[in-house]
Amino acid sequence: GPPNLVSAESRREAEQLFHSIKQELTIEAAAQVIRCTRNQCVLFQIAQMTGEIVLRDWVFLSKEQIIHTYKMLLEFVAETEDLSNYARTAFLRSVAMILKRGIIDEKTGDEEDVFGIIHNLLISQNGRMQAIGGELISAITHQFSSSWRNAKFSITWDFHLRAKSKFENTGLRHLLEMSLKTLHTLVLQSSILPDEFARRICEKFLEVLIATNSFRPPASWKDLLENDEFFGLFFQLHAKIRTDEALSLRTLSCLVQLAGLSGDVLSSSDFTKHYMKLYINSLLDLFAEGPLPHEVNHFCTIVNRLFQYRPIQMIMQIGPDLRERFLTYLSRYIEHLTKQAMYKAIVSSALVIFND
Domain boundary among 183, 209, 235: 209
Q: Provide, rounded to the nearest whole percent, the portion of the chain with pLDDT above 70.
A: 92
My answer on whether 265 and 127 are in the same domain is: no
My answer on whether 186 and 233 are in the same domain is: no
Q: What is the mean pLDDT of the chain?
A: 86
Note down the domain range covering 313: 214-355
C-alpha span between 148 and 157 (Å, rounded): 8
CA distances in angstroms from 207 to 30, 54, 156, 248, listed in the order given: 31, 28, 26, 12
In tens, the pLDDT along 116-156 reads 999 999 888 888 898 899 899 989 988 888 777 666 677 78
Query: Which of 71-85, 225-239, 282-296 is least confident?
Result: 225-239
> Given a cut of 90, is residue 78 above it in pLDDT?
yes
My answer on whether 163 and 220 are in the same domain is: no
Q: Which residue has the higher pLDDT, 246 or 211?
A: 246
My answer on whether 165 and 236 are in the same domain is: no
**Is residue 159 situated within a structural domain?**
yes
Contact 210, 250 (CB under 8 A): yes
> Given a cut of 90, is residue 181 above it in pLDDT?
no
**Is residue 8 situated within a structural domain?**
no
In tens, the pLDDT along 151-178 reads 667 778 888 889 988 888 778 888 888 8
pTM score of the predicted model:
0.77
**Among 104-118, 211-225, 263-277, 302-316, the range of highest mean pLDDT:** 104-118
Q: Which residue has the higher pLDDT, 74 or 317?
A: 74
My answer on whether 200 and 147 are in the same domain is: yes
My answer on whether 336 and 234 are in the same domain is: yes
Q: Provide, rounded to the nearest whole percent, the portion of the chain with pLDDT above 90.
A: 42
In tens, the pLDDT along 9-64 reads 777 777 777 777 777 788 999 999 999 999 998 899 999 999 999 999 999 999 99
My answer on whether 251 and 321 are in the same domain is: yes
Q: Is 278 helix (H, G, I), strand (E, B) or coil?
A: helix
**Is residue 286 situated within a structural domain?**
yes
Domain boundary among 209, 242, 274: 209
My answer on whether 219 and 189 are in the same domain is: no
**Is residue 133 situated within a structural domain?**
yes
- When divided into structural domains, the chain yields a total of 2
My answer on whether 170 and 261 are in the same domain is: no
Contact 329, 286 (CB under 8 A): no
Domain boundary among 166, 186, 209: 209
My answer on whether 123 and 183 are in the same domain is: yes
What residues have CB less than 8 Å from 50, skipping those under 6 apart? 27, 30, 31, 34, 69, 73, 94
**Is residue 2 situated within a structural domain?**
no
What residues have CB less than 8 Å from 206, skipping those under 6 apart? 183, 247, 250, 251, 253, 254
Q: Which of the four pLDDT bands, split at 50, 70 and 90, describes residue 323?
A: very high
Q: What pLDDT is recorded for position 302? A: 94
**Is residue 41 situated within a structural domain?**
yes
